[in-house]
Structure 1
Amino acid sequence: MEGIVYLRLKRKLEIQNLMELKLKDIALISSHSNEIVHELENIKLYRVTEKDKELIVLDSFLIIKHLAQNYPNIEIQLLGPEQTIVKINKNKKSPSILIMAFVWILLFIGTAMTIINFHYDVSMQEVQQKLHFLLTGEENEFPLWIQIPYSFGLGIGMILFFNHWFNKRFNEEPSPLEVEIYNYQKSLDDYVSFHENKLNDPKHPH
Structure 2
Amino acid sequence: MSNEYLYIKVDKNSMAKNKVVYLEDIAKLYSTDTDKINILKKQVVLTIKDNKPIKCVFSILKIIEIIHSIYPDVQVINLGESDFIIQYQPKKERQILKYLKIVMVSLIIFFGSAFAIMTFNEDASVEEVFKKIYELIMGSEKEGGTILEISYSIGIPIGIIVFYNHFSKVKLSNDPTPLKVQMRVYEEELDKTLIANASREDKIIDVD
The range that moved more, 111-120 or 91-100, is 91-100
Distance 1:100 1:2 in 2: 55
1:56-75, aligned counterparts within 5 Å?
Answer: 56-75=56-75
1:124-154 Cα offsets, whole Å, 9 max, x none, are 1111112212222221043421111211111
1:12 corresponds to:
13
Distance 2:21 2:207 in 1: 10
2:180 corresponds to:
178
Distance 2:59 2:111 in 1: 46
Unpaired runs of at least 5, structure 1: none
1:164-201 Cα offsets, whole Å, 9 max, x none, are 11233221222222211111111111111122364335
1:107 corresponds to:
109
Give the aligned length: 202
1:194 corresponds to:
196
CA contact (8 A) 2:52 2:89 kept: no
Unpaired runs of at least 5, structure 2: none
Distance 1:51 1:102 in 2: 28
Task: Give the TM-score of the pair, scaled to structure 2.
Answer: 0.86
Distance 1:52 1:146 in 2: 56
1:42-61, aligned counterparts within 5 Å?
Answer: 42-50=42-50, 53-61=53-61
CA contact (8 A) 1:45 1:202 kept: no
> Once superposed, what is the RMSD of the aligned Cα atoms?
2.2
Shift of 1:111: 0.9
Instruction: Give aligned-pair identity as a percent.
Output: 26
2:149 corresponds to:
147
Structure-2 change in CA distance of 1:64 and 1:99 (3 Å): closer
SS of the aligned residue for 1:168 comes to coil
2:118 corresponds to:
116
CA contact (8 A) 1:58 1:85 kept: yes
2:91 corresponds to:
91
CA contact (8 A) 2:130 2:149 kept: yes
Higher relative contact order (CA 8 A, sep 6+): 1
Distance 2:33 2:101 in 1: 53
1:34-49, aligned counterparts within 5 Å?
Answer: 34-49=34-49
Shift of 1:86: 1.6
Return the letter of the residue paired with 1:62: K
Task: Give the TM-score of the pair, scaled to structure 1.
Answer: 0.87
2:24 corresponds to:
24
Return the letter of the residue paired with 2:46: Y
Shift of 1:102: 3.1
1:79 corresponds to:
79
Q: Does residue 159 of the first structure (1) align with residue 161 of the second (2)?
A: yes
1:138 corresponds to:
140
